[in-house]
Amino acid sequence: MRFAPSPTGPLHIGGVRTALFNYLFAKKHGGDFVLRIEDTDQNRYVEGAEDYIVRALNWCAIPFNEGPGKNEKFGPYRQSERKHLYRQYADQLIANGKAYYAFDTSEQLDAHRKGHEAEGKTFIYNWHNREKGRLVNSLVLTEAETQARIESGDDFVIRFKSPQDETLHLKDIIRGDISIDTNVLDDKILFKSDGMPTYHLANIVDDHLMAITHVIRGEEWLPSLALHQLLYNAFGWDAPEFAHLPLILKPTGKGKLSKRDGDKLGFPVFPLEYTAPDGTVSRGYKEDGYFSEAVINFLAFLGWNPGTEQEIFDLDQLVSDFDLARVNKAGARFDPDKTKWFNHHYMQQQLDLDLAEQFKTSQSELAEIDVNYIALVVGLIKERATFVGDFWDLSHFFFTSPTSYDEKASKKALKEGTFGVLNKVIELVNKTDDFTVENLQTNIKGWITDNEIGFGKVMMPLRLALVGALQGPDVFDIMYLIGKAETVKRINALAGSIN
């Protein structure tokens, strides 16, 4: 299996999904997961993009077995470093009558297109016009004329000679049987005079030389399947099995998911934050606080399902259960809320101490706080959190005393007699020598019950005193963690403000 991205910018989550499905299939069947960098289009090459791809795969825990700088038994794995290989295969196709030189200039081709458009037609370079003399290629030029043009430095391309009047029978693991009339195919460019192959030739040659048995790629490559199969036939090589994944759709379900959708609706579409050459910064799932396990889990469900109600899968379970037969043909709608649901689940699986270390690093107010204390706090609040970035709003009162009280909460919690209630609670707290959650509950709840006081009359102002609002985990947990002295201080502060 191979994942073969182009280093033209950050890796979109659609590309990560393709890499994931290749990884899962390879691991399930005891194969290798290969990374190949398809950088034949040097005009679109972006410095740093390859490094970004590698870092993204590593963060997602789907590293490649073979690739640039790693176990290069079929290397090199950058197509720009393999360009010396491709010309011989282009020449082989010419020698076998499967390809030809074309010398048409861009201006000449534009004139043909415009002429066809004026007549309401579409210009296609193929069997119906390639040998009629209007196009300049080695099918109409003599061998000597062709060689003279090449030797004089004329620009040329090598085009594949698509067959005429044939029906091509293709098979796709996901799509099933496909039939193509070869008369509708154009003669694609395989090689350019700058010495670089196009994607089509390099892709086929590399897959053959690297012994790739299965090609799992995006639906956008389905129109190229016919050409690729024809190239395999022309070389006399066995083709790999193909599987074309469905599109990842916008949250509305209409159209392909794009970066613009993420910008508009407030979610990332890249695994890692990316800084473009012009300085533009794009959000990443990692930097937005997602766990890589959550990203992998939700990406797996964009087009695949296990056939059961189970939704939570770790990577080992995905490897075990993954089956291309359960990949859908229809596009998969991206649901930002579901990605958060997955992240919330994986939040609960993290060790409190690990989360505490992340929390401490991200919040300057915690620089001097013992990480073990922070971990105790995290254990109380993480069930309410989706991201580590949520922790401060959920827990700031464990670290700093309230400086004000929520107005709505105050109106609800502070009633006639609250002052006396708070002073009684202070008395009970001071009398609790063994300051544990259990003892606090016993003493305060016992007093409430014995005196037939409504719980709300005590617990709401108590929470307001501790937190500054009517929110947070159990008040007795808060009291225990902040300690007796801080508890008394906060209750006194509220009592003083209403007296």
Strands ordered across the beta sheet of 189-192: 99-102, 157-160, 189-192
Other beta carbons within 10 Å of 464: 25
| Distance between CA atoms of residues 457 and 450, nearest Å | 14
Respond yes or no: is residue 171 known to be catalytic.
no
Under a CB-based contact definition with an 8 Å cutoff, are residues 191 and 157 in contact?
A: yes
Under a CB-based contact definition with an 8 Å cutoff, are residues 465 and 422 in contact?
A: yes
**Buried-state track 112-128, b at ≥16 Cβ within 10 A, e below 16:** beeeeeeeeeebbbbbe
Q: What DSSP line would sit under 74-88, residue for residue?
A: T---BGGGSHHHHHH
How much helix, strand and coil, in percent to the nearest 5, is found in the chain?
A: 50, 10, 40
Catalytic residue from among 70, 83, 256, 259? 259
Q: What is the DSSP letter of 246?
A: P
| Distance between CA atoms of residues 342 and 295, nearest Å | 8
| Distance between CA atoms of residues 39 and 37, nearest Å | 6
First to last CA, the chain: 74
Under a CB-based contact definition with an 8 Å cutoff, are residues 160 and 207 in contact?
A: no
| Distance between CA atoms of residues 162 and 373, nearest Å | 71
| Distance between CA atoms of residues 409 and 415, nearest Å | 11
Q: Which residues are catalytic?
A: 259
